[in-house]
Structure 1
């Protein structure tokens, strides 16, 4: 049996949409909310014959990956996060690029010779790879209206992936994948008045309105920190709101702190868009942190470490 393992955000879902449109295959789906990235260990090693892994860190999944490889199971691993030490095995195919201007869906797009490039563009916009998405828009002659529609769709799909658990989401990521993979072209969904595109658009706009009314904890020329309350809407919007803030003020870093039930913070950090580095290294200094150079997070930051976090960010980007 084949297993598809993928991140529940826009990049992971739309990478798999492209692959399964090009290479239809019955598979078991393993995914979760955006921050649920320790997914490979959930593959049933006794029934798996092959596995595709998309948009989850190899470094965070190395134990599960090694178990699959030791069993002789073929693994195709496509990702854009820091991989750590990559195992050397004949049954492992690796496509990893940690360039801050690429994402897993763009890597799949290259592999498929741009067969489903509109989905890749939506994913790149959703992952805040705006310049890369704009390049593909220009290459394929899309209008500004079409580009804006794909950008919105990618953002909405990405927004849907954030939450403490799947119950926070409007659509479970595996359910959303099954809806999207029925369409070769995202514009077919965009043009349907009652489609998932319009359902997510309405929910996104409602949640973002609440986020924009949230308090700013800290603001300087280097870093801005916004606090969101402990509610499902705030968990859904934390990542996409951070992206929007980054796009509005690309010269500085942005952090969205969402309160958790245990009185800690979930942190979503965006490096300055003009200097897309350091976010992962900064967050990795905290116990539950990690991520990419341009975007990273901390799952449970104690409140008394807020000052330390601000100091670390300020020192890095000074």
Structure 2
């Protein structure tokens, strides 16, 4: 008799990825192996080796970046359910794949899971959306559920803290590895109870505030009528803060595009890029030109060659964000 199939959950370690899996496992609390990592750990399916009959849940990972490994897992006999909102390229047709993809700039993976589950863990979906910088979308959904302004602010605080904790060069940069943070999150049916009972969120929040203050004290590296760019040195605090800073700046000036660049010891720069919140489109295409990826409103570049910096700046400032 063959062994029963395993359950394997694979997700980005940011707020959107973790909250997507939290919703799923609270509704279907079966034992499952979790495979996750930091924000820029995208190609996570390479860590998974499947047997026939395994059920694999994938949340908030670019299918385009994981396509060869996805095809391998399907060939190995796994069943894969895939929730994502990043650019996917050509989606394979396979009887073992159930793809739930939506590339609208007004959604994220947590909201896709929420849609599939009929809103049964709506509060956790809101945490994921707030963390993914979809505050207007999350606010509208929360108000529709009768969630008052104070509770919305608390859910946003939690989402931004969880999201912040995903940024770093490796797990030595962050306060708690995303896999450990997930195990704390999934214990709480109500995320507001987590805020009340788990001190780790306060510690993450304090670190986030200190890092943002340090970044903002530097001021912009370049300002343009259509875009602003920050450039940070290579340090543990700057490796953590890039995405949170980009989201904060985008909220402050929603008519502008933003990029946060970070120098590295190896030479290439790391970039977090945000389209204007008033026209959240085109980021994936811009980042892809320079070896990066993303979605309509947000993206990143892991290794921007110094020789390409001038071309990147020109492209950001001339971007068609309509």
Q: TM-score range by the shorter chain?
A: over 0.9
| Cα distance change, pair 200–47 in 1 and its aligned pair in 2 (3 A) | farther
* 8 Å CA contact retained: 2:52, 2:78: no
Moved over 6 A (4+): none
SS at match of 2:277: coil
Structure-2 separation of matches of 1:45 and 1:158? 29
1:260 and 2:260 matched: no
Structure-2 separation of matches of 1:274 and 1:227? 23
Q: 1:49: Cα distance to partner?
A: 1.3
Partner of 2:303: 300
1:310 and 2:308 matched: no
Structure-2 separation of matches of 1:82 and 1:283? 12
Of 147, 151, 175 in structure 2, the residue corresponding to residue 146 of structure 1 is 151
SS at match of 2:124: helix
Q: 1:107-118 residue pairs with structure 2 within 5 A?
A: 107-118=112-123
Partner of 2:183: 178
Partner of 1:49: 54
Q: 1:65: Cα distance to partner?
A: 0.5
Of 239, 245, 269 in structure 2, the residue corresponding to residue 241 of structure 1 is 245
1:66 and 2:71 matched: yes
Q: 1:62-101 residue pairs with structure 2 within 5 A?
A: 62-101=67-106
* 8 Å CA contact retained: 1:208, 1:237: yes
Q: 1:111: Cα distance to partner?
A: 1.2
1:274 and 2:278 matched: yes
TM-score scaled by length of structure 2: 0.95
SS at match of 2:319: helix
1:10 and 2:22 matched: no
* 8 Å CA contact retained: 2:87, 2:284: no
Q: 1:317: Cα distance to partner?
A: 3.4
* 8 Å CA contact retained: 2:49, 2:73: no
Partner of 2:3: none
Structure-2 separation of matches of 1:166 and 1:188? 26
1:191 and 2:196 matched: yes
TM-score scaled by length of structure 1: 0.96
1:222 and 2:226 matched: yes
Q: What are the superposed Cα offsets for residues 217-238 of structure 1, whole Å, 9 maximum, x if unpaired?
A: 2101111000111111111110
Partner of 2:169: 164
Gaps of 5+ in 2: 1-5
Q: 1:215: Cα distance to partner?
A: 3.9
